[in-house]
Amino acid sequence: MLDFFINSAWAAPAQQEAGLASFLPLIILFVIFYFFLIRPQLKQAKQHKQLVSSLAKGDEIATSGGLLGKITELGDNFIVVEIAKETEVKIQRQSVSVVLPKGTLKTL
């Protein structure tokens, strides 16, 4: 009796896309993220690891905290840096951000 006043609602037929075509936008997005975000970070981390492993006594460095100084002692995880005459601080090796050219501290 109600069918006379109200039309019955039927579900639309299911449409299936091809398997690879539905994942294609996701794959393209991952490739974009890899080349613009992941790969440059991995490259930068590799360069920093190489910089930290190549530190030597007498190198003039700048830390990520902004300290400038000359390395006086090297350890496995820590280095001792002379930041002023007879003033030394112990810092982590990983906090070194730049090795400065020789003589830079004298010009500052």
CA atoms in the 13 A half-sphere facing the CB of 3: 2
pLDDT in tens, 74-83: 999 999 999 9
Let me know: does 80 contact 93? Beta carbons within 8 Å.
no
Q: Can you give the pTM of this predicted structure?
A: 0.72
Question: Would you tell me how many other CB atoms lie within 10 Å of the CB of residue 69?
Answer: 22
pLDDT in tens, 6-61: 777 776 776 666 677 778 889 999 999 999 999 999 999 999 999 999 999 999 99
